[in-house]
């Protein structure tokens, strides 16, 4: 088979387009630790404007962006409320605790990623020497591709503020949320983006996911907070020099790759529709650009291996995850569906007696 690979492991696997590379080559550069890189400054101004914040800071990764945000909000001995399955709690090496001396208070999330308002309220500690100081609520949008309802974001952030907490958004894929919300409401994604970000003190946005830049994120927020984050970024080793080369890619992505996220969402639906009804597999969720499937008991790793042989890449252990992005097209999705179908049609993998695994993974 000479077919090009269909890499659905993540939206981080995209390669910079020729036009993006050209923008990178042409970017005026300087030493950003001296504050001299015009392209970094332009990117920071642009993303601050888009998110409706006073200032922004270019970061090498989303992990560092979230950590700098948490460290800017919280002192040593503070705690932040966060979902049990949230990226900042679960997938960032425990950085808030390890490097920030910030205690996480993880809370149960429902199937849509929401923490109940009752749980949130109960987790806010009174001012008492026994307790860490609860000073921040961190939410994530999208979460597992799911867009958080505006009404929930409003209620949760209002609750936090009533108790004197600040509110941070891990908006690694907030552009996907904005584009999906706009499609739903028949509005402009950038208007929806502002609606979302207006509910948060600080927002971290990834350029390296669906937006298609090779590297980078930004933390956006009030100027004083961003100054604190700037100090944390330096301490964490994130002071970069001629980083305008990378900022140029991010700036290009903001100008050219936001509205097109809608195509990734259409492709995710195309994939989910194609997979529906294949015996041995069930689509658990398909939101924005991410599709999760449950696979007949014990078949996931064999399915992954089969897909890989047919040049389709996905991730998963018990179930599978597929992520669409600007380097896959409808033909690639149709090939992936056909490949899954072939796996379950072969006798060895017949699913007639197999159980579907329903648990979380
Ligand atoms: C990818 C991601 C991050 C940051 O990841 P990096 O790989 O450090 O850039 C943070 N939060 C969420 C929800 C993410 O998906």
Which pLDDT tens digit goes with each residue over 198-246?
Answer: 999 999 999 999 999 999 999 999 999 999 999 999 999 999 999 999 9
Q: Which CATH class is domain 6-12+260-344?
A: alpha beta
Q: For ligand 1, what atom is nearest to the CA of residue 208?
A: 9
Q: What is the pLDDT of residues 68-95, one digit of tens each?
A: 999 999 999 999 999 999 999 999 999 9
Distance 151 CA to ligand 1 centre (A): 24
Cα(247)–Cα(358) distance, integer angstroms: 42
Q: What is the pLDDT of residues 136-174, one digit of tens each?
A: 999 999 999 999 999 999 999 999 999 999 999 999 999
Pocket test for ligand 1, best of 62, 65, 85, 205 (most atoms within 8 A of CB): 62
Distance 269 CA to ligand 1 centre (A): 23
Please give the pLDDT value at position 349.
66
For the chain, the helix, strand and coil percentages under 3-state DSSP, each to the nearest 5 = 45, 20, 35
Query: Is the backbone peptide bond immediately before 142 cis, with ω within 30 degrees of 0?
Result: yes
User: So what's the architecture of 31-256 in CATH?
Assistant: 3-Layer(aba) Sandwich (3.40)
Count CA atoms closer than 13 A to 297's CA, side-chain side.
8
Q: What is the pLDDT of residues 273-328, one digit of tens each?
A: 999 989 999 999 999 999 999 998 889 999 999 999 999 999 998 889 999 999 99
Whole-model pTM: value is: 0.94
* Ligand 1 site, residue 268, Cβ cutoff 6 A: no
Rounded percentage of the chain residues whose pLDDT exceeds 70: 95
Please give the pLDDT value at position 155.
98
Q: For ligand 1, what atom is nearest to the CA of residue 140?
A: 13
Q: What are the structural domain ranges in the chain?
A: 6-12+260-344, 31-256
| Mean per-residue pLDDT over the chain, rounded | 95
Distance 70 CA to ligand 1 centre (A): 14
Distance 278 CA to ligand 1 centre (A): 32
Which residue has the CA at smallest separation from atom 14 of ligand 1? 172
The answer, yes or no, to whether residue 353 has pLDDT greater than 70, is no
Question: Which has more confidence, 298 or 186?
Answer: 186
């Amino acid at each position: 088979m000479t077919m090009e690979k269909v890499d659905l492991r993540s939206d981080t696997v995209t390669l910079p387009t020729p036009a993006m590379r050209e923008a990178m080559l042409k970017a005026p550069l300087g030493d950003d630790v001296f504050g001299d890189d015009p392209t970094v400054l332009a990117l920071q101004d642009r993303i601050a404007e888009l998110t409706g914040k006073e200032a922004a800071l270019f970061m090498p990764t989303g992990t560092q962006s979230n950590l700098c945000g948490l460290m800017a909000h919280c002192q040593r001995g503070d705690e932040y409320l966060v979902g049990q399955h949230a990226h900042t709690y679960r997938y960032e090496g425990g950085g808030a605790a390890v490097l920030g001396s910030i205690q996480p208070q993880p809370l149960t999330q429902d199937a849509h990623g929401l923490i109940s308002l009752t749980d949130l309220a109960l987790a806010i500690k009174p001012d008492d020497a026994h307790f860490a100081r609860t000073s921040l609520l961190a939410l994530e949008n999208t979460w597992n591709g799911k867009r958080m309802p505006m009404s929930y974001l409003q209620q949760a952030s209002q609750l936090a503020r009533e108790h004197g907490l600040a509110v941070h958004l891990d908006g690694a894929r907030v552009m996907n949320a904005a584009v999906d919300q706009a499609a739903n409401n028949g509005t402009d994604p950038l208007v929806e983006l502002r609606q979302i970000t207006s509910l948060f003190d600080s927002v971290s946005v990834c350029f390296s996911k669906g937006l298609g830049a090779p590297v980078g994120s930004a933390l956006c927020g009030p100027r004083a907070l961003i100054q604190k984050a700037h100090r944390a970024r330096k301490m964490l080793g994130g002071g970069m020099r001629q980083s305008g080369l990378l900022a140029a890619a991010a700036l290009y992505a903001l100008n050219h790759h936001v509205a097109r996220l809608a195509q990734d969402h259409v492709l995710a639906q195309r994939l989910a529709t194609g997979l529906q009804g294949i015996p041995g597999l069930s689509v658990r969720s398909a939101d924005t650009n991410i599709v999760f499937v449950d696979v007949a008991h014990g078949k996931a790793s064999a399915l992954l291996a089969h897909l890989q042989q047919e040049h389709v890449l996905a991730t998963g252990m018990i179930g599978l995850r597929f992520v669409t992005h600007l380097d896959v097209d409808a033909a690639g999705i149709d090939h992936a569906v056909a490949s899954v179908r072939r796996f379950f049609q072969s006798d060895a993998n017949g699913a007639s007696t197999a159980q579907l695994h329903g648990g979380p993974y």
